[in-house]
Amino acid sequence: MKILLVKLSSLGDVLHNLPIVWDLRKQYPNGQIDWVVEEGYASLLDPLKTTGSFTGIDRVIPIAFRRWKKSLKRGEFVHSIQEFLTFKKELQEVQYDLIIETQGLIKSAYVTYLANKSTNARIIGLANQTEYSGYEPLARKFYTESIQVPFRCHAVDRSRYLAAAASDTPHPDRTQAPPQFYPNTYQASLQSQIGANKDLSIDQLGFDIHKPYVLCFHSTARKAKRWSNESWAVIGKELSDRGMQVVLPWGNPEEKIISAQLAKQIPQAIVPGSFSISTAFYLVANAKLTIGVDTGLTHLAAILNCPTIELYCDSPRWKTEGYWSEQVINLGDTQAPPSIEEVRQAINKLID
């Protein structure tokens, strides 16, 4: 069985799609599983690549829709077209019997069209939009089978519905068969490798990863999903008083300004240097605690089963909450930001 997964972006969405690799492996232990993903998120799949006796993803096929779109706007046609043709050639090296497209957008469904398909190939996709999720009905034109999922459906469960339909098995019960994301030993390996990673030096990061620290992911793409600066300052001061390095990561110049403003209010707070997604794995795995709003790097901490407090300020908690681990505490909900006291109690529960 040759299987192609299509989940292009974004960071949190790709992470929440990981469990279907394990689900499919149970049904097709000797099958080939490939995955098309935006180039910026390809490193998220590296820990699942087939190596030695471990069988996970056989091929990760990067695509650059985002970068190509920007290049075309600048009039850089030739190079973008050449890269697209290279991607298409790589994609079509394998003839697929089963394609599962879990994003429900035209651009991701178009990838299924480009794929090299066997005569009776099945192309599985979403039949309907789920609450608060992007969906383009025309994507169904590219599928051979459209799968109806509950209107209110957790992001992880939604992908698992499609994988179950594709393998003709019942949808897994989240209590009896909780989702698995990375190998069980992966977090321990991240903690054991920190001494050999030059990107984790004090000079690179601006703080000592060997001393207790808390990651505070305060920013996200939509401002309404942010927790107030006043609340972050109060909690940051309390964490600093407990001897923690309060680390305030950022992803763009605007977020860096906010980190700097918060750092002025929190004793010995740190605004780190920029770091890659790959480095984020090590930082999250070795943090005493991660506190963050509804954003991809917070979800990374949750799926690694690290001590994590997820703050939902203006997004539905049920959609992405980390329900699979007692190490993850989910607070707040749509238009109901958590209180400082709720966060304080969660910190006391997760930090001895």
Q: What CA–CA distance (Å, rounded) separates 190 from 194?
A: 7
Residue 173: inside a domain, yes or no?
no
Q: Is there a single domain that holds both residue 223 and residue 117?
A: no
Indicate whether 93 belongs to any domain: yes
What are the DSSP E strand ranges found in 114-194? 116-126, 145-147
> Per the confidence metrics, is the pTM higher than 0.85?
yes
| Separation CA 224–CA 276 (nearest Å) | 25
Q: Mark whether 47 and 118 lie in a shared domain.
A: yes
Q: Which CATH number fits the domain that encloses residue 342?
A: 3.40.50.2000
Nearest-5° Cα angle at 27, 97 to 104:
55
One digit per residue, the tens of pLDDT, for the chain of length 352 reads 999 999 999 999 999 999 999 999 999 999 999 999 999 999 999 999 999 989 999 999 999 999 998 888 888 888 899 999 999 999 999 999 999 999 999 999 999 999 999 999 999 999 999 999 999 999 999 999 999 999 999 999 999 999 999 999 999 999 999 999 999 889 888 988 776 677 788 988 999 999 999 999 999 989 999 999 999 999 999 999 999 999 999 999 999 999 999 999 999 999 999 999 999 999 999 999 999 999 999 999 999 999 999 999 999 999 999 999 999 999 999 999 999 999 999 999 999 7
Identify residue 239 by its one-letter amino acid code: L
Statement to judge: residues 192 and 335 lie in one domain: yes
- 3-state SS, residue 172: coil
Residue 176 lies in a domain: no
Q: Cα–chain-centroid distance for residue 340?
A: 26
Nearest alpha carbon to residue 347 among 264, 263, 248, 241? 241
C-alpha–C-alpha distance, residues 168 and 111, integer Å: 23
